[in-house]
Structure 1
C-alpha cells in the first residue's frame, strides 16, 4: 500500500478519528468520509476502532505505533487498554475541547493552520471535565457544523471563527478523580480494592452520583448542575469510594438521618433519593450489582425494612423489626409491644420515638413476641386452671405459677403460658393417691378448704409435701376443679388445740432483744410463724414456732449478748471481730440488730 505524500503528525494524546480527519484536510479533502472512500477505507470502522481498518490508515500515514490510543467499540461498550467505557461515557459526535489548547496548537504546531489543532483522548470522556494543563473547564461546541459529523477538523474549522470570542472558561484545577480516570485510560489504574473489578465507566458514574448527593442533596436534579458542579461532585464521591467499602457504607448510613428524625418511608427512593433511582429505575446494568447489594444490605441491617417494602425489587426477608412492623406481622397492639420492650429493658426512658423508629433485630423481637403469643392474662389464666381469685393469688405469691415476662413491672401486666399452667396442674394431679370414687367423702379443693377452715397455702403445703393420703382426680372436670380431697384429713393436719408457739414478746424476751427486731426477723424469713387456732376455731393467732426460735438461738448470737457474756464493749468487740475477718451474718440495717453466726466465732 502506497504511503500518502501529505501527512500530519500523530500526537501522543490524539485520537484516531481526529488523526484521520486532519489527514483528509491536509490532502485537500474537506470530508473525512470522502477521504476514506477515495482510499478504500471504511470511515465508521475507523471511528469504532476496528483493528484491520486502523492498521490500513496508519500504513497510509506512515505511523507505526498507536501507543494505546485505540478506542474499540464492542457492542454498546468501548474498550481501551483493558478498561471498559459505556456509550454514554464517550463524546463522539460533538466537538469538546480546551480553547487554550487549541490556541496553542495553532500557534505552535506546523502545517496548514486548519490541520494544526487535534483532538485529545481525554476530551472524549464525559467524566473528565477539565484541562490538566490550563486548569480550565472543557468547552462543548453547539454551533452549526459541530454536531454529529464525527469529523474533527471541519468541526474545528467551523468553531475557529468563534474561538476568538470565547471568554476564558472558569478556573477549575484537575481533581484527583480526573487524574485517576486519565491514568486508567492509559492502562495505569489506581487500585481501590473493592471497586477494582468494576468497569471504569461505572466507577466514574458512582463517584458522580455519590458526590452530587453529598453536595447537592439526595433529591438533586442533574439538569440544574453545571459542568463545574459535576466536576466537584465526582471528586467528592471519589473521596468516599477510595476509603473502601466501609466508607461507602458509612455514607449510606448517613442518609438514614431523615428516617430517624422525620416521618419518611423506608423505601429505597425515600432513603437514598437519586442514587437509588439511578440504580433501580434508570439502569439495569449488572456493572452496578455490587453497589446495589451493598445498599440493600446496609438498609436491611440498619432499618426495619421487610416484606412489603422495595429495595431494588420486593424485599423478601426481614432483619430488623420496628414496633409498627412487629405489631402488623404478629397482630399485637403497638402499646403492648412498647410495654414489653420497656419491661424487658431493651428500650429505656420514655420511648419518645414513634412506633416506626423503635427498632430491634428481628430475632430478638421474635423472641419477645413469642412470650406473648398464646399467653393468657391473669383472669383468663385463673379460669384456665379453675382457680378462684384467692387461690390464684396464693399460687402467684408462693411462686407456683410465674409470668412468662419474667420480673413483674407495673408498665406491663403479667401473662402466662398455657404450657406452664398445664405443667403445674399435671404436677398437682400427680399427687393423686387413689382413683376417684363419687361415693367417697372427698370433695373439691375449694369446698375442702372451706369445711376444714384453713388456708389455700396450708393445703398446698400438705399436698406438695406428700402428707395427704386421700387425694383423687375427677376426670370429668378440667384443671384444679377435678382435684378431690378429704376435708377431715386436712382438718386433722391443720387443727391445733394447744399452742406450742411463742408470741413476739415472749420470743423477744428469750433473745433479749426488742420486739421490732423480732418482727424484722420474721419479715426477713429467718423465723417461722404459723397461724394457730383454738379448738373452737373462732380466732386465729400468729405465733413463732418454738422449733424455729431454738434453731435461731443455736445458730446466731447478737453482738450485744456476746459483748455482755465476754464483759467487753460492743465497739471494741466489733473492731476485734472485723480484724479477725469475722463479719455479721445479719446486719443492723436488715433487722435493727447485729447477729453473728456462732459457727464463725
Structure 2
C-alpha cells in the first residue's frame, strides 16, 4: 500500500483514534469511518485497538505499527489499556468528546484548520478535571455513536460551544494529583513517592478516597460529590500520600480510636467507604494490595481483625 502524500505528525500525548481522524480531515474526507472504508480497514476496530487495522493505518502514514502504540486504546470489555496502564470504564471515557476548549481553539487557529486539533490522552481520564495549561475545566460533549472517537468530526460540530467555554475564568487551585496522573501517563518524573508502588488507577483512586474520608469522615457521600469536591479531596489525599506510607498510616490512626463491641473486628468498621471501595474492586490491579495495607494498619491496633479480602 502506498503512503499517503498528505500526513501529519503524531503528537506525543495523542490518542490513535484522534490521529486517524486528523489524517482523514487533512485529506479532505468527511469522517474517519469513510476514510478507513476507502482504504480497507474499519475505524471502529482501530478505536478499540485492533492490530490488523493499526497495521494498515501505519502503512498509510509511513510508520511502523510500534510507533503508534503509545496512543493505542486496547479496549476489552470493561477495561481499557493505554500506555501500559489499565483503567476500568469507571475512570476513563473513550466514547464522548472531552476537551479543553482553549487548547482546541489554539490548535485549529483562526483559519479553523480542524485537522490541527488533537485529542489528548489525559482528557479521557476521570482523575483529570482541568487543563494543565489553561487552568480551565475540561468540558464533555455528547454525540452520536456514529462519530465516537472521530475527533476532528466531533469538534467541527461543537465549535461555537467551544468558544463559549474557552472564555471561562482560570481556576487558581492546586491540582497535584492530576499532575501526578498526567506525568505517570507521559513517563515523566513524578512526586508520588509511595503511590508509585501501585498501578496508576489504584494509586489515584486511593488518594481521592483517602482525602474524602479525611475531609468528610469514614462514610463520605461520594455519589453527591461535584467535580470541585473531587478536586479538593484529591488534593488532600495526595498531599498525605506523597509523604509516604508513614504519613498515610498516621492519617488513618484517628479512625481507629473507638473500641467496637463485636469480637469480630473488620476494617470496614473503622475505615468505612475507604475500605469498602477497595474491597469492591479487589480483582482490579493494585486494589487488593491497598486493601491488605489498610487491614494491616487496623490489625496493629486491633489484632483480632477478621479479613474481608479474598485469600
> Which of residues 293, 308, 311 in structure 2 aligns to 1:312?
308
Measure the CA separation in 1 of the matches of 2:231 and 2:237.
Answer: 10
1:90, distance to aligned residue in structure 2 (A) = 2.3
1:66 and 1:178, CA in 2 relative to 1: closer, same or farther beyond 3 A? farther
Instruction: Report if the CA contact (8 A) 1:48-1:72 is conserved.
Output: yes
Work out whether residues 180 and 190 of structure 1, in 8 Å CA contact, stay in contact via their aligned partners in 2: yes
Deviation at 1:194, TM superposition (A): 4.6
Distance in 2 (alpha carbons) for counterparts of 1:107 and 1:228: 30
> Aligned in 2, Cα 1:116/1:314: closer, same or farther, shift over 3 Å?
closer
Residue in 1 that maps onto 2:286:
287
| Match status 1:230 vs 2:233 | no
Q: Is the 8 A contact 1:30 1:154 kept in 2?
A: yes
**1:254 Cα deviation after fit:** 1.9
* In the alignment, structure 1 residue 69 sits paired with structure 2 residue 70: yes
| Equivalence for 1:353 | none
Partner of 1:47: 47
TM-score scaled to structure 2, two decimals?
0.83
Report what 2:94 is aligned to.
Answer: 92
Question: C-alpha deviations, 1:266-293, integer Å up to 9, x for none?
Answer: 5433311211221223554352122111
How far residue 203 of structure 1 moved from its aligned partner, in angstroms, is 0.8
Q: Which residue of 1 aligns with 2:250?
A: 250
2:209 paired with 1:213: no
For residue 208 of structure 1, report the CA deviation from its aligned partner: 1.3
- Whether the 8 Å CA contact 1:83–1:184 is kept in 2: the answer is no
Q: Are residues 55 and 282 of structure 1, via their aligned partners in 2, closer, same or farther at CA, if it must alter by over 3 Å?
A: closer
Distance 1:296 1:213 in 2: 16
Q: Which has the higher contact order (CA 8 A, sep 6+)?
A: 2
Kept in 1, the 8 Å contact 2:288–2:309? The answer is: no
CA separation in 1, counterparts of 2:157 and 2:252?
47
Q: 1:250 to 1:71 in 2, by over 3 A?
A: farther
Matches within 5 A, 1:86-125: 86-107=88-109, 113-125=113-125
Question: 1:104, 1:134 → 2: CA distance?
Answer: 11
1:127/1:204 contact within 8 Å kept: yes
CA contact (8 A) 2:85 2:200 kept: yes
* CA distances 1:303-354 after superposition (whole Å, capped 9, x unpaired): 3745xxx542599xxxxxxxxxxxxxxxxxxxxxxxxxxxxxxxxxxxxxxx
Compared CA separation, residues 23 and 148, structure 1 to 2 (3 A): closer
Between the two proteins, the alignment pairs up a number of residues equal to: 307
What is the aligned partner in structure 1 of residue 298 from structure 2? 299
- 1:14 has 2:10 as partner: no
Structure 2 CA distance for aligned equivalents of residues 193 and 164 of structure 1: 39
Question: C-alpha displacement at 1:14, in angstroms?
Answer: 2.0
Residue 34 of structure 1: aligned partner: 34
Match of 1:37, SS state, is: helix
For residues 248 and 148 of structure 1, the distance between their equivalents in structure 2, rounded to whole angstroms, comes to 44
- Is the CA contact 1:129–1:137 (under 8 Å) kept in the aligned structure 2? yes
Residues 98 and 124 of structure 2 are in contact (CA less than 8 Å); yes or no, is this contact kept in structure 1?
Answer: yes
Q: How does 1:137-216 map to 2 (within 5 A)?
A: 137-142=137-142, 144-145=143-144, 149-166=148-165, 168=168, 171-173=171-173, 175-188=175-188, 190=190, 194-216=194-216
Q: SS of the residue aligned with 1:13?
A: coil
Alignment of 1:156-555 (within 5 A): 156-166=155-165, 168=168, 171-173=171-173, 175-188=175-188, 190=190, 194-257=194-257, 259=258, 267-281=266-280, 283-285=282-284, 287-303=286-302, 305-306=304-305, 311-312=307-308
Alignment TM-score, normalising by the size of structure 1: 0.46
- Contact 2:25/2:152 (CA < 8 Å) preserved in 1? yes
Q: CA deviation at 1:44?
A: 3.4
Q: Work out the CA distance in 2 between the residues paired with 1:82 and 1:149.
A: 23
1:281 to 1:87, Cα distance in 2 relative to 1, 3 A = closer
Q: Is the contact made by 1:96 and 1:124 (CA closer than 8 Å) also made in structure 2?
A: yes
8 Å CA contact 1:46–1:54 kept in 2: the answer is yes
Contact kept? 2:282, 2:291, Cα under 8 Å: no
**Residue segments in structure 1 that go unaligned for 5+ positions in a row:** 316-601
Give the 3-state SS of the residue equivalent to 1:273 in structure 2: helix
Residues 95-114 of structure 1 show CA distances to partners (whole Å, capped at 9, x for unaligned) of 11111111212226x7x633
Equivalent-residue separation in structure 2 for 1:50 and 1:117 (angstroms): 24
Matched position secondary structure for 2:90: helix
Change (3 A) 1:194 1:9: closer
How far did 1:125 drift?
1.9
Aligned counterparts of 1:34 and 1:281: Cα–Cα separation in 2: 42
> Once the two structures are superposed, what CA deviation does each residue of 1:506-553 show, in whole Å capped at 9, x if it has no partner?
xxxxxxxxxxxxxxxxxxxxxxxxxxxxxxxxxxxxxxxxxxxxxxxx
SS of match in other structure, 2:87: strand
Q: Distance in 1 between matches of 2:96 and 2:176?
A: 26
TM-aligned CA deviation for residue 182 of structure 1: 1.4
Question: Is the contact made by 1:181 and 1:189 (CA closer than 8 Å) also made in structure 2?
Answer: no
CA contact (8 A) 1:207 1:237 kept: yes
- Give 1:69 shift: 2.7
Specify every segment of 5 or more residues in structure 2 that has no aligned partner in the other structure, as ranges: none
Deviations for 1:385-405, whole angstroms, at most 9, x for unmatched residues? xxxxxxxxxxxxxxxxxxxxx
